[in-house]
Structure 1
Amino acid sequence: MITNASTRPPVVSEENWRTARLELLREEKKLLHLQDELAARRRQLPWIKIDKPYTFTGPAGRVTLADLFTGHSQLVIQHFMLGPGWEEGCKSCSFMMDHFNAAAVHLPARDVAFAAVSRAPIAEILPFKKRMGWNVNWVSSHDNDFNFDYHVSFTPEQMAEDQVYYNYGRREFPHEEAPGVSVFTRDAAGTIYHTYSTYGRGVEFIMGTYHILDLTPKGRDEVGLDYGMEWLRHHDRYEQSADAFATT
């Protein structure tokens, strides 16, 4: 409940509210047009040809990067923070996966495959995947350089330095694994290209829950937390009563 009247917006008539809403709507439309322009520019980024023969481990055995396309010409990969020996996956990456899991069924209709990649061995990935109830394609890069090449995993030597290379610059980072999303395409000859990667807050595009929270009076309500996503839990760890989602 919002009780602090000193920070609450004014209460106005329907007519005055509509005037304020139309002013904001004009700004929202400007942002939508800008997002369309940025999406077009993103599609025009140059490509990088992938020559390294990446081989991953999936539930059924060894798979190549080409196999992850599952017959499609485009591939979106979530770099999921689950390192060797971790008891469970990162809760923020899990939050992102909750959204990807729902979207993955629709992506093939637009010639897009989805896969998650983690550095943990597949034997450590599968129990966590089962616990969370996800049905996406998820493979291990434990035996290749994929995560290191895309700057989402860091060696002990790199972690010993003050900064690592992440999100296109040198910066401090608290973990040996980091989040990200990468996009690839494959031409008719089977050649694979890297077309896009985003890191840090750039991955928020998939987090629809955040976009819903941005519509509410309290917004994300993260001010005062030790870090922004401190409130977040794995979806099976929220302390909610069984009737919280009951229908009438």
Structure 2
Amino acid sequence: MPEHRVGTQKEFEAAREELLAEEKELTRRGDELARKRRELPWVPVEKDYSFETAEGTKSLADLFDERAQLLIYHFMFGPPYEAGCPVCSSIADNLDPNVVHLKARDVTLVCSSRAPLDKLLAYRERMGWSFDWVSTVGSDFHRDLGFLHTEQELRPFLEGGIPPTVRQMAEASGTDVPGYVTEGPGLSSYVLSDGTVHRTYVTSARGLEPAMAYYGLLDRTPMGRHEEGEETHWLRRHDEYGKT
């Protein structure tokens, strides 16, 4: 445990009061950003995307499941993977229990990956999730949103020094580094209005942190995320903690 300044209760309360003012300002700023996010222009989805599901082949419009809004988490599970990305798996742990609450607000949430459907459903059973998981037919859906790259596009990265965490995640997913990093995580949002599907929002990278509740909780602990300088990533699939 690192050394830290120790103070009195009075000093704590004074510092906490100052911090609280900043936290409230951040909350207000977050509310403003949420409003601006909702005001983004809607873009009609003109391409006919198809998805393999447990109920057969469906269109993007079918995935709404008779609701007006749709959230899709683009889960890193490419065709050569033997298991889902551990980081995406930790996100799915957070998404799964929220599906029922989103449905209550007219929102359907599904995960989409490029691996064959039987792989996805077997992995879902292993993890104990219940959300709908679809397999894209072809590469266009993830590619068009910027969540799929070619090895040629990634060559500068692949020819540089590969971070140990990337090698770790590739190995944990049962593939090599190129097979792992060609996939990318993301979240996309849609609305079905007057029979037309519109894309309303897309995010990736740290924009996904709202779906990673453990980081918000760690940010409130004395040591925080405590990831600086770590050679390997601490995240594991929830059934792998404690394994050597």
Mark yes or no: TM-score above 0.5. yes
> CA separation in 1, counterparts of 2:45 and 2:81?
30
Contact 2:67-2:108 at 8 Å conserved across structures: yes
Cα separation, 2, equivalents of 1:239 and 1:109: 36
Task: Specify the alignment match of 2:161 in structure 1.
Answer: none
Shift of residue 160, structure 1, vs aligned partner: 4.1
Counterpart of 1:198, as a letter, is T
Kept in 1: contact 2:49–2:137 (CA 8 A): no
Offset at 1:159?
A: 3.7
1:221 & 1:161 partners in 2: Cα distance?
A: 29
1:12 corresponds in structure 2 to 7
1:59 to 51, 54, 68: 54
Q: 1:35 and 1:124, CA in 2 relative to 1: closer, same or farther beyond 3 A?
A: same
Residue 179 of structure 1: aligned partner? 185
Q: Which amino acid aligns with 2:227?
A: E
Corresponding residue for residue 167 of structure 1: none
Task: Point out where structure 2 has 5 or more consecutive residues left out of the alignment.
Answer: 159-177
2:226 aligned with 1:231, yes or no? no
Query: Quick one: which of 123, 129, 140 aligns to 2:124?
Result: 129
Between Structure 1 and Structure 2, the one with more helix by share is 2
In the other structure, the counterpart of 1:198 is 203
Assess, with a 3 A threshold, how the Cα gap between structure 1 residues 138 and 213 changes in structure 2: closer, same or farther: same
Partner secondary structure for residue 196 of structure 1: strand
Query: What is the TM-score of this pair, normalised by structure 2?
Result: 0.87
Q: Which amino acid aligns with 2:225?
A: R
Counterparts of 2:149 and 2:60, CA distance in 1: 21
1:20-49, CA deviations, whole angstroms, 9 ceiling, x for partnerless residues? 111100000000000000000000011110
Q: Which amino acid aligns with 1:178?
A: G
- Structure 1: stretches of 5+ with no match in the other structure: 164-172, 241-248
Q: 149-158 or 27-36, which moves further after superposition?
A: 149-158
Structure 2 match to 1:208: 213
Offset of residue 124 of structure 1: 1.3
Identity of aligned residues (%): 42
- Aligned residues: CA RMSD: 1.7
**TM score, norm. by length of structure 1:** 0.86
Deviation at 1:15, TM superposition (A): 1.6
The answer on whether the counterparts of 1:77 and 1:114 sit within 8 Å (CA) in structure 2 is yes
| Secondary structure in 2 matching 1:158 | coil
Q: In 2, are the aligned partners of 1:56 and 1:64 still within 8 Å (CA)?
A: yes
Q: Secondary structure at the match of 2:153?
A: helix
In structure 2, which of residues 16, 19, 35 is the aligned counterpart of residue 21 of structure 1? 16
Per-residue deviation, residues 52-73 of structure 1 (Å, max 9, x unmatched): 1111001121011111111111
One-letter amino acid matched to 2:210: F
The count of corresponding residues between Structure 1 and Structure 2 is 223
